[in-house]
Amino acid sequence: MAATPSFAPRTASVERGTTETNLRIELTLDGDGSYANDTGIGFFDHMLDLFAKHGGFDVAVRCTGDLYVDDHHTVEDVGIALGQAVRQALGDKAHIARYGHAYVPMDETLARAVVDLSGRFYLHFDAAFERPTVGDLSTEMVEHFWYSFAEHVRCNLHLTVLHGRNAHHKIEALFKAAARALRAAVRREARNARMPSTKGQL
């Protein structure tokens, strides 16, 4: 009988400093959903908290950015750094499920997320928002966050609002669905192939 792999905790720490933002992210993929996020954008912090809680990840984001300009640089750079942290924590991706999907309802809204940790970047984003901001977050930055995140994880990520009216509900359902899909994809089991690809790498 083959020995059962001993799985070490998967963690990452990423720092990013530019003339526009200065940030640090601490991530544990195999966590309990704890969070401590402070970007200066209240609604965005709430979404990052939900991402941690529903993904079962421990996430701490500290970011100071040029919010006197707008929220673009902060949201983009957090997406970049969080994606880098996930990729770093995944390491060689041994024994992961690789694929994950989730449907999340929130009142009148239903969102779907599907992810493949393939090592190849692609984002499909299908959601429309009827107002330009929710709280202090520009709704146009929701897609841009997930683009930056998926690009730096190097994953395929398909995010869709199947139906809904309230912009807050749509964004929240998308973050929850993405977290739950990612949680399924990063799950490790001894019975999984060490490398879930006929190429021998992801």
144-195 residue pLDDT tens:
999 999 999 999 999 999 999 999 999 999 999 999 999 999 999 888 777 6
Q: Which residues are within 8 A (CB) of 35 and not within 5 positions of it... i.e. 6 or more apart?
A: 48, 49, 52, 53, 58, 59, 60
Question: C-alpha distances in angstroms, 99 versus 19, 197, 201?
Answer: 37, 11, 15
Q: How many whole angstroms from its chain centre is CA 88?
A: 13
- 192 to 15, 155, 175: CA distances (angstroms): 32, 19, 27
Domain boundaries, the chain: 11-186
Architecture in CATH for domain 11-186: 2-Layer Sandwich (3.30)
Report pLDDT digits (tens) over 31-72.
Answer: 999 999 999 999 999 999 999 999 999 999 999 999 999 999
**pTM for the structure as a whole:** 0.94
Beta-strand pair 35-38/58-65:
parallel
